[in-house]
Amino acid sequence: MGDAEIAMWGDSLTARSEYPGGRSIPQHLATLTGRRVMNGGIDGQQSGAIRDRFLNDALFGRETIIMAGRNNFSAGATVQADIAAMVAALTTDRYLVLAVPNAALADEYGGQAKYDAIVALNAALAAAYGAHFVNAWAAMIDAYDPADPMEVQDFANKVVPWRFRQATIMSALVGGIDAGATSFATSGVGSGIIRLGQEYINVTARSGNNVTACTRGFAGSSAVAHVAGERIEQREAIHYSDAGRAFVAQQIANRRATLGW
């Protein structure tokens, strides 16, 4: 996409468009803006590697979106310096820097040291870039569904809501279960939180594909009976669902419009 009008640089959060029909953030942004958007995301890269690719490609006059730092957020000063080097190389004032998100992991919940480090990093980026800083992460957290008990818990933990996180296991219940069952057969499930219909279940032990211990009615949802073949859903801790990627793209498009681009 050497002729792209907008270049977006980042890691897997930028790169991914997993599952049939899903689109990356750059693809969603292209639809919203009618512009060609380059996907400069590579899985696993820290901010320094993203900086080096950016400086090597020398697309300095192109409108630029930077989404870097998730993979080394604990080195906040380094992330700030890498982003600053990218911005300093630009020959245009059309650029945006996106906030670094936390993961839906207990050690990154609100009040934990890692969460505080991410908040401090984003505060520094906001101070440095002003209107060019887009805190899509905070906007996603605030967009939780108050009617969904899991998303209410996500909001309390200060993490991206369930529906905005990438689905990981899409499987099914093998046999029907009643509201009190704490063990059951599935076609595939991991430990942690799953969703069956409107009920959330915290799987605490399993053997192969089968759940052997769990907490029913997790996060204040209602424990109910489920029929064989019912869909089981789990979510990743960090990567976004298609809805999440669309949400981030919309935040970018909104800021572009505010800035008159």
Q: How many domains does the chain have?
A: 2
Amino acid identity, residue 93? D
Query: Do residue 36 and residue 122 come from a single domain?
Result: yes
Q: Is residue 199 part of a domain?
A: yes
Query: Do residue 212 and residue 252 come from a single domain?
Result: no
Query: Do residue 222 and residue 254 come from a single domain?
Result: no
pLDDT at 110: 98
Query: Do residue 90 and residue 183 come from a single domain?
Result: no
Domain that holds residue 102: 6-143+239-259
Query: Do residue 26 and residue 133 come from a single domain?
Result: yes
CATH code of the domain in which 25 resides: 3.40.50.1110
**What is d(CA 255, CA 261) in angstroms, rounded to the nearest whole number?**
9
Segment 131-190, tens digit of pLDDT:
999 999 999 999 999 999 999 999 999 999 999 999 987 799 999 999 999 999 999 998
pLDDT at 148: 97
pLDDT at 1: 46
Closest to 252 measured CA to CA, from 36, 60, 79, 98: 98
Q: How many angstroms separate the first and last alpha carbons of the chain?
A: 21
The tokens for 201 are 């279940």
The torsion of the CA quartet 126, 100, 5, 127, rounded to 10 degrees, works out to 10
Q: Is residue 150 part of a domain?
A: no
Q: Is residue 155 part of a domain?
A: no
Segment 191-222, tens digit of pLDDT:
999 999 999 999 999 999 999 999 999 999 99
Query: Is the CB of residue 240 less than 8 Å from the CB of residue 213?
Result: no
Segment 22-59, tens digit of pLDDT:
899 999 999 999 999 999 999 999 999 999 999 999 99
Query: Is the CB of residue 85 less than 8 Å from the CB of residue 51?
Result: yes
What Cα–Cα distance (Å) separates residue 255 from each residue in 70, 134, 181, 249, 260? 21, 7, 48, 10, 9
Query: Do residue 213 and residue 248 come from a single domain?
Result: no
